[in-house]
């Protein structure tokens, strides 16, 4: 069983697609914890209507703050921190957990447009997605246009997803795709909760796993599973112009926390 945790602020069409893909393609029983940051378009009501556990924030809070809110009430020992603007593939959770168990991973991610097997394949994927997104988004941001983008990008989603799994199986590479971070509860005792001072919390999480690995060797750095691919709409919802974070004054930059250490630990995840 897994606890799926997602923060949302409006974007009802995306939320519906996200939820539909979870129901259709998740193998294990799951609880869905939604941190709703004062949505005004019916997103909060939608998630309540499908039985999700909804934390009702009165303001819009930063990503790490919301993830920690979810952890506090999560029932299970596997957390899936998912952006709400993603589409998951068939058996995503089953395959990820099996591969993580094989390699002894406690924090891991699927691959996606942002990171695939090579720099060349990633660049090709980015280029194709940007062309499709830029053209179709001119016709609006609705369920219909989002589905069209997704279809033009991959064709048959199930065939594409299963093809990647068959090609890459249990292959992993060091690094992460921030839209979908899977963490076992056991990792929290070693690296702690999300750092609520950092909006670049995925980079910070990687840096902490890397540093812990180098200093103590009791956890592996975050790795990307190449056989499981999550689609991410990538900032297409940014045009909704969400309100300023309620905790904005607490946010610091990655450099403020890590300074020169960042270059040492990040060098292994770039092509």
Q: What is the pLDDT of residues 65-80, one digit of tens each?
A: 999 999 999 999 999 9
**Quick check: 260 and 31 in contact, CB under 8 A?**
no
pLDDT digits (tens, 9 = 90+) for 88-99: 999 999 999 999
Q: How confident is the model at residue 48 (pLDDT cuts 50, 70, 90)?
A: very high
Q: How confident is the model at residue 265 (pLDDT cuts 50, 70, 90)?
A: low
Q: How confident is the model at residue 125 (pLDDT cuts 50, 70, 90)?
A: very high
- Quick check: 268 pLDDT over 80? no
**Quick check: 60 and 131 in contact, CB under 8 A?**
no
| The pLDDT of residue 269 | 66
- What is the average pLDDT across 34-45? 97
Neighbours of 136 (CB within 10 A): 21
| The pLDDT of residue 244 | 82
**Quick check: 238 and 83 in contact, CB under 8 A?**
no
Candidate from 60-69, 74-83, 111-120, 251-260 with smallest mean pLDDT: 251-260
Q: How confident is the model at residue 247 (pLDDT cuts 50, 70, 90)?
A: confident
Q: What percent of the chain has a predicted confidence (pLDDT) above 70?
A: 94
In the chain, what are the domain boundaries?
Answer: 2-269
Higher pLDDT, 270 or 258: 258
- Quick check: 266 pLDDT over 80? no
Residues comprising the chain, all counted: 271
Domain 2-269, what architecture? Answer: Alpha-Beta Complex (3.90)
Q: What are phi and psi of 134, to 5 degrees?
A: -65, -35
- Quick check: 134 pLDDT over 70? yes
Candidate from 14-18, 46-50, 138-142, 154-158 with smallest mean pLDDT: 138-142
In a 3-state reduction of DSSP, which class is residue 138? helix
Helix (H) or strand (E) holding 79: strand 78-82
| The pLDDT of residue 181 | 98
Q: How confident is the model at residue 241 (pLDDT cuts 50, 70, 90)?
A: low
DSSP E strands in 102-219: the ranges are: 107-111, 172-174, 180-184
């Amino acid at each position: 069983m897994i606890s799926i945790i997602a923060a949302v602020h409006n974007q009802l069409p995306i939320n519906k697609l996200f939820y539909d893909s979870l129901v259709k393609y998740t193998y294990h029983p799951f609880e869905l914890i939604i941190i709703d940051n004062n949505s005004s378009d019916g997103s909060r009501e939608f998630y309540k209507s499908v039985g999700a556990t909804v934390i009702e924030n009165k303001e819009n809070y930063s990503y790490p703050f919301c993830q920690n809110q979810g952890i506090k009430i999560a029932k299970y020992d596997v957390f899936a921190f998912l952006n709400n603007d993603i589409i998951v593939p068939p058996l995503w959770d089953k395959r990820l957990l099996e591969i993580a168990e094989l390699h002894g991973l406690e924090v891991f991610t699927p691959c996606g447009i942002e990171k695939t097997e090579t720099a060349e394949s990633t660049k090709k994927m980015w280029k194709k997605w940007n062309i499709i997104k830029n053209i179709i988004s001119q016709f609006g941001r609705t369920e219909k246009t989002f589905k069209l983008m997704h279809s033009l990008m991959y064709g048959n989603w199930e065939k594409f997803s299963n093809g990647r799994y068959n090609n890459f199986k249990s292959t992993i590479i060091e690094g992460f795709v921030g839209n979908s971070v899977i963490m076992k509860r056991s990792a929290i005792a070693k690296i702690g909760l999300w750092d609520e001072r950092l909006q670049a919390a995925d980079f910070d999480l990687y840096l902490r796993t890397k540093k812990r690995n180098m200093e103590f060797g009791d956890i592996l750095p975050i790795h990307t599973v190449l056989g499981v691919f999550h689609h991410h709409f990538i900032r297409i919802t940014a045009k909704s112009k969400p309100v300023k974070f309620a905790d904005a004054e607490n946010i610091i930059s990655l450099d403020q926390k890590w300074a020169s250490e960042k270059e040492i630990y990040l060098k292994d995840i770039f092509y």
